[in-house]
Structure 1
């Protein structure tokens, strides 16, 4: 019972940290990108990951956690796919309308459910599926505006969804398979993620914005916000691994949509972004879905806990589920890439 309460408190703490840090970084990046016109999102993400690695290296040196080696091929593949996933999500926004990009993000949950069902033999009850449907409907109402389709944008979105889903599934399964903490996994993988984006970032940003990150005028105010964004990103990256490790990739995506609604609300209250009754209705519907999802997850978790003693003997004879699709991790922050050099005032909040 004590372990169960400790796990629940740890999970609540991880969820809270994820929400607070993600909303904070979006607000910080809105100021950085919309007000100060630093619109190089992929390069900024690579700096986030590099700072995260450095901070974790210091934490390791101070013995805040122990280094637990993992198979190098797994870690390298994991890190590189993370970087590819982030780059594809940014390209998806760059080559699509904001509305279609939001559809891409909504597609991640059903895609994750499908992949876990097919390859990890995981089952989702009708109640869970219903609550997810209500949540996605609400987020769609609140965030989706125009739906302009093009072949290249659609293809990039498809790749972004698949790589992100596989990445987040691997974040969960690799922690369980190798019995390592989120901190240990993040420390070993984020350098490869950062290297992937450090190499590709300037080219992607040039392609999407038409501007060169190296020729940007870095005045003191811009530097302060970049440093602040990188510091907040440490918490974002850590909480992402923590949430997926303690819960599931689907729960992390549900939390992501909750953060989208919170960002919309904060944008209206703090920044004065335009807000309509459709936004309000969509957020309320999404919150209903979120509450139902949380309730059904709690009920089913309690049932599994009660049934666990009876299943212990059966588990001894069962083999591990297929883990051959493990290649990557998820998107680590809510930075948005513009289609053009000129940003819409609320584009990075909605995306």
Structure 2
């Protein structure tokens, strides 16, 4: 019990720092985009990942975690797939309403469970199954009542969900296979994610320009903010 109490301040501090950093990112993104007119949100996300890598490198220098190299092909594939999934989520938001985009992100959880059940024969408790059933009902209702659905946006959302689910499953498999922590995996995969988003960012923005010409200013602000937090 005493050990649990000693861990609580550190956990609370980590959660508080996470909230503060997330809010700070949103404020900085809005200032950059609204004031300076920088519209390359996906490219900005790649810079966020680069800053994350630099921060982890400092943490490594301070010996807060141990660097553990493993199969470079697995790291590269994982990093590129994560970058593609973020890019697809950004495209999904560009061609769908913000509400449908949020439902898309919620659908990632049951989809991941479904893939793990079908391909890896993983069993989940009844409480988890019940929670996912309620979630799926909510997603279904929100999807049916969303009047801004379109074929291209739905296809992009489906691809975004599938790639994100595969990336999450890969995270679990890589950590177990190579016995690395999430921090160690993030440190090694961040450069590949950042490079992928940096390369595809201008193309995504060019693809979305025509679409955004017809979007409302409110939707644009939501898109930029959410893209940079994807």
Q: Tell whether the structures are fold-level matches, with TM greater than 0.5.
A: yes
- Secondary structure of residue in 1 paired with 2:203: helix
Q: How does 1:129-140 map to 2 (within 5 A)?
A: 129-134=129-134
Q: Please give the per-residue CA displacement for 1:52-71, whole angstroms capped at 9, x wherever unaligned.
A: 22232333334333221111
Q: 1:20 to 1:55 in 2, by over 3 A?
A: closer
Alignment length, in residue pairs?
A: 224
Structure 2 residue aligned with 1:111: 111
Q: Please give the per-residue CA displacement for 1:87-121, whole angstroms capped at 9, x wherever unaligned.
A: 10011111223233233222111101111222333
Q: 1:43 to 1:350 in 2, by over 3 A?
A: closer
Structure 2 residue aligned with 1:128: 128
C-alpha contact (below 8 Å) 2:46/2:193 kept by paired residues: yes
CA shift at 1:144, angstroms? Answer: 9.8
Q: Please give the per-residue CA displacement for 1:39-94, whole angstroms capped at 9, x wherever unaligned.
A: 32100011111222223233333433322111111001000001101110011111
C-alpha contact (below 8 Å) 1:100/1:144 kept by paired residues: no
Within 2, Cα distance between the matches of 1:157 and 1:195? 23
Structure 2 residue aligned with 1:256: none
Q: How does 1:31-180 map to 2 (within 5 A)?
A: 31-34=31-34, 36-134=36-134, 146-180=146-180
C-alpha contact (below 8 Å) 2:100/2:143 kept by paired residues: no
Q: 1:154 to 1:183 in 2, by over 3 A?
A: same
RMSD: 3.5
Q: Please give the per-residue CA displacement for 1:170-209, whole angstroms capped at 9, x wherever unaligned.
A: 2233223222122211111110111111111111122213
Select the structure that is richer in helix.
2
C-alpha contact (below 8 Å) 2:107/2:139 kept by paired residues: no
**Larger Rg, first or second structure (1 or 2):** 1
Within 2, Cα distance between the matches of 1:6 and 1:119? 40
Q: 1:143 to 1:9 in 2, by over 3 A?
A: farther
Within 2, Cα distance between the matches of 1:115 and 1:47? 31
Within 1, Cα distance between the matches of 2:143 and 2:36? 25
Q: 1:145 to 1:10 in 2, by over 3 A?
A: farther
Within 1, Cα distance between the matches of 2:131 and 2:71? 38
CA shift at 1:342, angstroms? Answer: 5.7
Q: 1:98 to 1:192 in 2, by over 3 A?
A: same
- Secondary structure of residue in 1 paired with 2:217: coil
- Secondary structure of residue in 2 paired with 1:180: coil
Q: 1:73 to 1:3 in 2, by over 3 A?
A: farther
- Point out where structure 1 has 5 or more consecutive residues left out of the alignment: 211-337
